[in-house]
Structures are given as C-alpha cells and as structure tokens.
Structure 1
Amino acid sequence: MRVAIVGVGGVGQVSACELVKSQYLTKLVLADISIAPAEELAAELRRETDVEIQVKRVDARDVSSVQAILDDIDVLLHIGLPENNFEVMKACLNTRTHYIDTASSGPQWLRKQLAWNDKFRAAGILGIMGLGCDPGFSNIAARYAVDQLDEVDAILIRDGDNSVVDYDGFCSYFSPQTAIQECLAKPNYWTADKGEQYLPTPFANKEEFEFPEPIGWLDCYNVEHEEATTLGETIGRAKGCKYVDFKYALHPDFVNTLKVLSYLGLDSDEEIEVKGVKVAPRDVVVTTMPKPVDLAGKIHGYSSVGALVKGKKNNKRKEVYVYTIANHDEVFYKTEFQATIWQTGIPPVVAVDMIAEGLLQTTGCIPPELIDPIPFLERLKARGMAFGVIEKTSPLSQGT
C-alpha cells in the first residue's frame, strides 16, 4: 500500500508515525507547502523503518500540484486546511486515488463534498469525509450505539476537556482557524420534521454534561459541526430518531475571547488593507497563537469525545454512550504528541488499515458512520486508542 499525506502539521505527523508501523505500507509521501517539518519527520521515521519515505512540496490549493504526487499512490489523507478539500478531491478523481479527510469547512461544504458521490463511484474510488476524532470517531461511535437499539430518539455528540495548559494566552488544542470559524458560526442541529437547521447565535443552549471520570461535569454549548449534518439522515431516521446535535465544552475565558474577536471583526477571513498590505484579520489572530503541535507536553488533563444515543431496546428505555478518553500527559509520554491531535490522527489510519485488509471496499463519497463500526473500533483499539461503552436501562412509563 502506498499512501500520501497532504498536510504535515501535528495531526499529519501523528498519522505518519502510525502508518509506518503497518506491514502493508511500502511507500509514504509527506507533502506540504512548507516542507521543513516534513523533512525533519521523514529523517526520524527513516531511522525506524525501511519503508520508502518521500517529501514533496505541494500547494493543496492547486489541483495540478497535488496530482503530481499521486501517480502511484493508493490512498491520500488530506489533513490540511478543509478549505482546500475540493482541489485535493479533484486531484484524487483525476488519478483514481482513494481520498480521506478529517474535516469540512462547514455543513454546506460537507454536503457539496458528499454530492461528489457519483463521480467517485464512476472512478471506482472511495472518499471518506470527516474521519478524525470529531467528526470521525464520534460518527462511528454513534453508529455503534444506534445499532444496539430498536428505536432511537436522539443522537448527541459531546466533546469535553478538563485540562490546563502551560501557556499564558489565547490558544487552541486543534487547528486555530477551524476553532475560531466553527465556534463563532451559527450552530447547526437536526430534527426529523425539518432536517438541518441553525440556531440564531453562537454559544447557544449551555448545559452541564457529565463526561467519564476523571473529567466529570463540564459546561457545553451547541457548536457548528459535521455530525449534525449527516447522522440523522444516514443512521437516525430509519430508527425513528427525532433530534441530533453537537455540543462542545468550552472554558469561559475561551468563550469570552472569541466573543471579543467577533465584536472587533477579527474573526473575518475577508482581506482588509493595513498600511498598504492586504491581510485577513483571522490570519493575523492565528499567527499570534501557538501551533497545536507545539503545545505537546504543556497540556495537563483529559480529553474525551463521545456519542450519547437515547432510545429503546426490548421495550425498555435505554441510553448507550460510546466514548474515547485520553490523558494529555500519558499520550505525550508515549508519543510526544498532545492528546487532541493524537486522537484526530489515529482514525484515518484505521480506515487505511481496513482498505488494505479488504474490509472497506465500497466506492463513492461517504460520512464515517457508513463504515462498519465493529472492525473499525477493534483496529482503533489495536492502535492504542481505547474506547468505552456505558449503558443505562430503565422501564418504560405506563402507557408509553
């Protein structure tokens, strides 16, 4: 199996380090517009493996630039900016290369990506949209939970982290561009009668949610996310699901900082002229923030992502919560990465495992929940990313 990774930031580095452990891997291409980190990583990996490792400079905004590295590549992992997904997808179509990414630029863009389904099928290739931790693991966790129930009422994705960071300033544990964009967007949710809808303002519907110990209770808010775009239609509606949403636990300081950025217009990606130079305000903010990969070893606490599915089984009310949890310090000790990017970089590698084993032979463009969850979760655990299942059952009220 020959694999290319486009985007060799923190998550791309995690995926690369996992891929080289695979017996099926014969070639790995590390591609980025800035090749210095990729060169450094390649030098480290070559000391650990006999797999052919190449470093290529690629501009993901340019279809021909991406296409130039794909002549003999079986699978491409796009772990760069989601805004470049379509250019990378086009390159994969032209070369008939399987495509996996970890996020979209928003619900409307995810729908457009999935609308390429017929094109990918005609080319005989698979495209998986949003296979990181959330989206990604969260979708597959939801599928596993839905499969355990006879009827489904609601699918609730919850992301929480109780950690502190050795950094005195505004930072994000994952892509700062994505964090600012999705947290300040109008949150999406899904209902069976109206489909996907949007709340009028960000940081809506604050609620306390109990994450697995030692995290416990955290304040969560509705945030724009990919899961609410697909889960209701793909796996929920057939079992009677009425509601799907995503909520993210956000620290008050993080929320207040984002509100200030929005108030000042510093979250905008529209270029403005400053002293004769055109800049996007959000790019200026992001440039002042540390890269998530540079926070490794500085974050202390736990990160958890899970899917809570409520419904019925054998004529009893039942809740199934499927989750993953990781300790930032433990992950850093074992891998030298921080937990958030590590949790994001493992799932796409598991999909490559399944393709290599012949367990994922479908073609077209799919969201992660259409992957068989049991073999996926088994291989995820084998890669060191454990998951847990909590089930609660109660009798139905009389007359229901």
Structure 2
Amino acid sequence: MSSKLKVAVLGVGGVGQVCADELVKSDYLDKLVLGDIATGPAELLADELRGLTSATIEVYQVDASNTDSVASILHDIDLVLHAGLPEFNFNVMEACLRTKTSYIDMASVSPAGLKEQLSWDQKFKDAGILGIMGLGCDPGFSNIAARYAVDQMDTVESISIRDGDNSEVDYDGFCTYFSPQTAISECLAKPNYWTAEQGEQFYPTPFANKEEFEFPEPIGWLDTYNVEHEESTTLGETIGRAKGCKYVDFKYALHPEFVNTLQVLSYLGLDDDEKISVKGVSVAPRDVVVTTMPKPADLAGKIHGYSCVGAFVKGTQGNHKLEMFVYTMANHDEVFQKTEFQATVWQTGVPPIAAVDLIAEGKLTLKGCIPSELIDPVPFFERLKARGMEWNVITKTSPLLKMASNI
C-alpha cells in the first residue's frame, strides 16, 4: 500500500514536464504543484493533466532564485523535484529545510557545488528529510547502474560513465538536447576524474583524452571526451574505494561541429556567465547565446536516432575478470511517438519518478543528503522498467591467469 504524497515540480521545462506527466500516472499522488517563473506553459500542462488524475493540480509563479518564493509553495508538500537550473539548488534546499520537504534534483552546478550540497547531510537529517543529489539520467541512472555493476563484483578496477548519441536533428543551427546553460558550462570546464591515490582531480583543458568507445548497436563506435560531471565526484569514494577501484571518469560523445562551436564560444568569451554592459544594458554573454538556441522541449519530434547512457565497470568476480556495461538506450522517434517528448529529456525525467515510487512504497526511507548511487539498484530498476525505461547489461568475462609457482 503506497502512501499518498503531495509533490511539487519546480521548473516546468522539458524535464519538469516529463516528471509531471509520469507523476499523474501514480495512484499515490494526492496533490501536484507546478512552479515556474513563467506560468503559461505550466498552466497549459496542468489543463492537459487534470483529466488524467484525481489528484489536485495547482500552478504557482515561483522565482527559484528567491528562497522565500520557493518556500511559499512548499508548506504542505512532501517532496519537491527541482527540474530547474542547478545554480538555484541551494535556494530550493534552504526552502526545503524551512518547510521540512524532501528534495530531489537532477544535476549540480559543479563538482564543488555537489560536495557542498552533500555537506548539508546533517541539516537534512536534523529536519527529518531526504535530499537526493543528481537523479536524472546522467547523473542519476548512470550512478545507480555503476552501483549495480559494482555490487556484482568482488574487486573493482575502474568505473567509466559513457554517454553517446548518434542522432541527427531537424534544426539548422547550434542546439543541445538538454539545458543549454548546463551543456555549455560543463563541456567547457576542466574535466574532473578520480583516482584512489589522489581523489578528485582535473584535467588541464576541456575535451581531454579523446577516444573511441563502442556503444551497443545501432549506435556503435563514437568519439568520446572527458567532461566535467558529477559521477566522478562521488562514485570512487561511495562505492569504488572499498573494492579497490583505482580510477573513475565520465566521457561524453560529442560531434566535431559541436566541439568546434563551443571552442569558438569560449575563445570569444561568449560562454561567460558574468554580466557585462552592452550599450547600457547589463547582460551575461552566455545568456545571449542561450536565448538564440531552441529550448530542449521544442526539439521533440525533430531528433532522429538513438541515445545511450551507461556505466562501464571493470573488475573481478571469483576467478574471472569481469567487464559490465549497464546501460539504458532510447530511440528518439519511438519515445516521441509514445510520449510526445524527446528522448534526452524523457530519460532525465523518468528516473526521479522511480525514486518517488520507492518513497511512496516505503522502500526508500533514508534521511540526509545522498548521491543517487546510495539508492538500492534492484527495486529502482524495477520501477524504472515499469515506467517504460528499459535497462540492459552486457558482460564479458575472461579467466584470471595465475603464474605457476617454481618447484
């Protein structure tokens, strides 16, 4: 028997719309609040969803940069899904502490930002609430996929998160399939990685260590690059070190034109989020670039191909070497036909709802601030599959060779 929940979705862009669409399919939903700085799209979504659920649906104008504004909609809410910009995570978390509302976000603003969020662990425990940091597809599914693989192994050598997409888009210009602000900032930051000897470190330049990685068919081989990402901040310490893991990283498959465009933006300073004065108007260069780009939700139905995110883990099991790639794959056209969302935002919006399912069922009862790999993978993957998001495992084993002792 699931507990009734009152849930708020803060940020009603592509991912927030997926979250809301999934929530109204749930018998445990008692009330849904949609909050955004612009209420027009949220009102349209609410009108569509009210006929699909007996739960109450309310829409509020909310400024995520203002803690008081966020807190004003949370006083009777059990859980908030922050699907807005990561730069507002701390404002939302502070509002959750005030109202004793549990919290889930899909990304952090930086590795340092994630560490600071996790440092609020005792504050959340004292308030009796749960905070899950980075529960989208990657981070999120990717962390839990890594945990699943690590749990199968006796020792772990390395954890490698890989994200690849072979799709083409019906848009003649620069675009990203998820938050443009996040894509620009993380791809142009110094990429982080982790070693057992020195902990988290950073490569000196963006787009480091280009290599080909073979994704499952029909994607195949793609060029991947180290990119700043949350998984490298936590996986080594939370699940890797105890089994001897030596190295953790994240690599993203990027098209050469995408890389070139970002390098030009960086060269011209158009990736900067610090405001400058232009003819008497104060504006951040990155905001100008983002304004010229389509919103990820607007690309629904225009992307054709496959998206794959997974954890590639090397280690041992018994007397064998073991390699596991635990992944999810989606076809953009098929996802659009079934859901009217594009696959990247859909893959990001479904995992947090799988966690909400577990909370409602009383199977996720942790308190405090946690990275998503601390969620038990097996029931999580069951809920994920029940919501239509498939996951698969490719394994490769070989015997451990032992040197014969001298007689």
TM range (shorter): over 0.9
The aligned amino acid for 1:147 is: D
- Which residue is 1:326 aligned to? 330
- Which residue is 2:316 aligned to? 312
Where do residues 1-400 of structure 1 align in structure 2 (5 Å cutoff)? 1-399=5-403
CA distance in 2, matches of 1:114, 1:159: 24
Q: Which moved more, 1:390-399 or 1:2-11?
A: 390-399
- CA-based RMSD: 0.7
The aligned amino acid for 2:17 is: Q
CA contact (8 A) 2:117 2:133 kept: yes
Write out per-residue CA displacement over residues 201-221 of structure 1, whole angstroms, 9 at most, x where no aligned residue: 000000000001100000000
CA distance in 2, matches of 1:66, 1:101: 14
CA distance in 2, matches of 1:333, 1:173: 17
Q: Which runs of 5+ in 1 are unaligned?
A: none
The aligned amino acid for 2:335 is: V
Q: Which runs of 5+ in 2 are unaligned?
A: none
Deviation for aligned residue 1:131 = 0.1
The aligned amino acid for 1:188 is: N
CA distance in 1, matches of 2:292, 2:401: 55
CA contact (8 A) 2:25 2:52 kept: no
Deviation for aligned residue 1:397 = 2.8
Deviation for aligned residue 1:326 = 0.1
Deviation for aligned residue 1:71 = 1.2
Deviation for aligned residue 1:104 = 0.2
Deviation for aligned residue 1:399 = 3.1
Instruction: Normalising by structure 2, report the TM-score.
Output: 0.98
Structure 1 SS opposite 2:201: strand
Deviation for aligned residue 1:177 = 0.2
Deviation for aligned residue 1:49 = 1.8
CA distance in 2, matches of 1:385, 1:160: 17
Deviation for aligned residue 1:316 = 1.1
Instruction: Normalising by structure 1, report the TM-score.
Output: 0.99
Aligned length: 400
Deviation for aligned residue 1:320 = 1.0
Structure 2 SS opposite 1:105: coil
Write out per-residue CA displacement over residues 209-248 of structure 1, whole angstroms, 9 at most, x where no aligned residue: 0001100000000000000000000000000000000000
CA distance in 2, matches of 1:156, 1:311: 12
Write out per-residue CA displacement over residues 37-87 of structure 1, whole angstroms, 9 at most, x where no aligned residue: 000000000122221000000001111101011111000000000000000
Displacement over 2 Å in runs of 4+: 397-400
Deviation for aligned residue 1:101 = 0.2
Structure 1 SS opposite 2:76: coil
The aligned amino acid for 1:340 is: T
